[in-house]
């Protein structure tokens, strides 16, 4: 894939084998940063790679679990940990 190519929520959902509403929730809680382009959101391929590395082993299946995972990742980063 071309690293400059941006992905739509639908494409990200397909790549992650998740529902579009899950991708939207991950964007809303701040786990998957996106760029708003009119009515749509676009995600960089690096954002998806970072998500796969940083959230490996975490349960982000709903908003509560996603926020807990985000908090754990943030605490780990602040303490100098690696995941």
Predicted confidence at residue 48, as pLDDT, reads: 97
pLDDT, tens digit, for every residue of 66-81?
999 999 999 988 988 6
Give the helix/strand (H/E) hosting 44: strand 40-44
Domain residue ranges in the chain: 6-78
25-45 as b/e: b if 16+ CB within 10 A: bbbeeebbebeeeeeebbbbb
User: Does the model's pTM come out above 0.85?
Assistant: yes
pLDDT, tens digit, for every residue of 38-57?
999 999 999 999 999 999 99
Q: What average pLDDT is seen over the chain?
A: 93
């Amino acid at each position: 894939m071309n690293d400059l190519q941006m992905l739509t929520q639908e494409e990200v959902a397909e790549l992650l084998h998740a529902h579009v509403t899950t991708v939207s929730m991950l964007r809303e809680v701040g786990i998957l940063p996106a760029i708003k382009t009119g009515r749509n959101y676009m995600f960089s391929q690096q954002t998806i790679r970072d998500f796969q590395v940083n959230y490996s082993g975490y349960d982000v299946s709903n908003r509560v679990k996603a926020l807990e995972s985000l908090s754990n990742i943030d605490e780990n980063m602040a303490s100098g940990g690696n995941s």
